[in-house]
Amino acid sequence: MRDAETIHRRLLRFELWALETLARSVRDGEEELPLRSMKILGHLVGTHWLWLSRLGAPARNMEVWPELSAAQCVDEVADLEKAWSSFFEEPQRLDGRTEYRNSRGEEWVSATSDVLLHIAIHGSHHRGQIIATMRQMGRTPPYLDFIEATRRGWVE
């Protein structure tokens, strides 16, 4: 059985792979997605940086809903991968709790492991919204299932 650190690393690696794959698909598409879908794509990047900051890791200062192009999102993922790798260099962080202020200004304390699970679930939710829009436009979205990432070796 895998330990908690390994599971969280795998989930975050999957999350970044899926985000990058989706951003590349949007970037390479023949027609642009509606503004709302582009905002959601940027939001996925922005929230990664926000959570890294909340977790006490070095992070880029970025809005929660930044206006980013798909190409910018692809570029950001490379930096996010480095930032998350650095975060996991201190595995004891996973056992801790994270104090933060949410976007409404409320103060909270959450288990760090819960925050990491939230990031993966949050990303899946929003990727589904973008994929639904792509299908409505007649585009074929990328295959982003976790099992696909493991089959292709993107997540070990």
- What DSSP assignment string belongs to 12-73? HHHHHHHHHHHHHHHHHSSSPPPHHHHHHHHHHHHHHHHHHHHTTS------SS----HHHH
State the pLDDT confidence band at 67, using cuts at 50, 70 and 90.
very high
Output the average pLDDT for the chain. Answer: 93
The letter for the amino acid at 68 is L
User: What is the model's pLDDT at position 1?
Assistant: 45
State the pLDDT confidence band at 36, using cuts at 50, 70 and 90.
very high
The residue-averaged pLDDT of 97-113 equals: 93
Residue 2, pLDDT above cutoff 70: no
Which H/E stretch holds residue 81? helix 70-87
The residue-averaged pLDDT of 110-118 equals: 94
List pLDDT tens digits, range 137-149.
Answer: 999 999 999 999 9
